[in-house]
Amino acid sequence: MSIDVIGIIGGSGLARLEALDIERRELVSTPYGSLSAPMQFGRLGDLPVAFLPRHGSNHQIPPHMVNYRANIWAFKEVGVEQVVGMAAVGGISDNMVPGTLCAADQIVDYTYDRKHTFYEQDLTTVIHIDFTEPYCEALRQRLLAAAATAGVEVIGQGTYGATQGPRLETAAEIRRMARDGCDIVGMTGMPEAALARELELCYANFSLVVNWAAGLGEGPITMKEIERHLGDAMGRALSAIAALAKT
Ligand code: HPA
């Protein structure tokens, strides 16, 4: 049985997938403009993947400027039906200690002014997608099983609060997000997940907690802290994903 190609959207700290054996690159064209970078096809261990760095090849596109519609459209265009959206996030709940990996299962969306739907032009009728469960449960469960196979701990429950960025949040904003039920906070989870649902892709989140959210750690959030935790968590995250080849 051949294994399906898995789409990986790389977040901060993953502009290049060093472990990827690249077979080819494709600059996919879309009706929504340019993707963040050419799509790279290759293998992560035994897993065939299509990799796209969300912030561009040189990590130059800020979260609110990412062309989420083009990126998601491109996966559909090349026939990749399962996509893992990786994301560096801040930890809000006590269990989201920096270094933790989490496959979120819910979203609260605080973003604004982003092109967030494919359903706005040339409609014969208004379309409302169901988004009760925002992530593809089948892929989430596969990811959790793969992580277990690889001996990597991943928390399988968590609400991702998507903020606009590029600035980090205030302490009061994080207190509000905690009251809203958010466990982690990032800037790119939306509209990516909703666009994937609109195109009926099977999309799951894979978050790397890289700092305590604003006001919860000691002092201000520093890039040094973020980079240290990113470096630590990325290897584990990628072994978990590569183990999808065994599930
Ligand atoms: N807030 C928002 N996005 C983030 C954070 C954070 O604390 N850390 C990494 N991405």
For the Cβ of 187 lying below 6 angstroms from any atom of ligand 1, the answer is yes
For the Cβ of 233 lying below 6 angstroms from any atom of ligand 1, the answer is no
pLDDT digits (tens, 9 = 90+) for 128-138: 899 999 999 99
To test the ligand 1 pocket, which listed residue (100, 182, 185) has its Cβ within 8 A of the most ligand atoms?
Answer: 185
pLDDT digits (tens, 9 = 90+) for 187-230: 999 999 999 999 999 999 999 999 999 999 999 999 999 999 99
Q: Record the tokens describing residue 199, joined without a space.
A: 């195109």
Q: What percentage of the chain exceeds 70 in pLDDT? A: 99
User: Of how many residues is the chain composed?
Assistant: 247
> What structural domains and CATH numbers belong to the chain?
6-246 (3.40.50.1580)
Q: Whose Cα sits closest to atom 3 in ligand 1? A: 186
* Residues 4-24, mean pLDDT to the nearest whole number: 86
Please give the torsion angle defined by the CA atoms of residues 115, 119, 122 and 125, in that order, rounded to the nearest 10 degrees: -150
DSSP 6-45: EEEEE-TT-SS-TTEEEEEEE---BTTB--SS-EEEEEET
pLDDT digits (tens, 9 = 90+) for 47-78: 999 999 999 988 899 999 999 999 999 999 99
Instruction: Provide the pLDDT for residue 22.
Output: 87
- Burial class, 141, CB count within 10 angstroms (exposed 0-12 / middle 13-18 / buried 19+): middle
Instruction: Provide the pLDDT for residue 1.
Output: 45
pTM for the model stands at: 0.96
Kindly indicate the confidence band of residue 170, based on its pLDDT and cuts at 50, 70 and 90.
very high
Rounded CA gap, 51 and 117, in Å?
22
For the Cβ of 161 lying below 6 angstroms from any atom of ligand 1, the answer is no
Separation of CA 183 and ligand 1 centre (Å): 12
Residue 136: partners with Cβ closer than 8 Å, 6 or more residues away = 82, 201, 202, 203, 204
Pick from 121, 133, 29, 25: which is nearest to 71 by CA? 29
Instruction: Provide the pLDDT for residue 2.
Output: 57
Separation of CA 46 and ligand 1 centre (Å): 31
Q: Whose Cα sits closest to atom 6 in ligand 1? A: 90
* Residues 114-127, mean pLDDT to the nearest whole number: 87
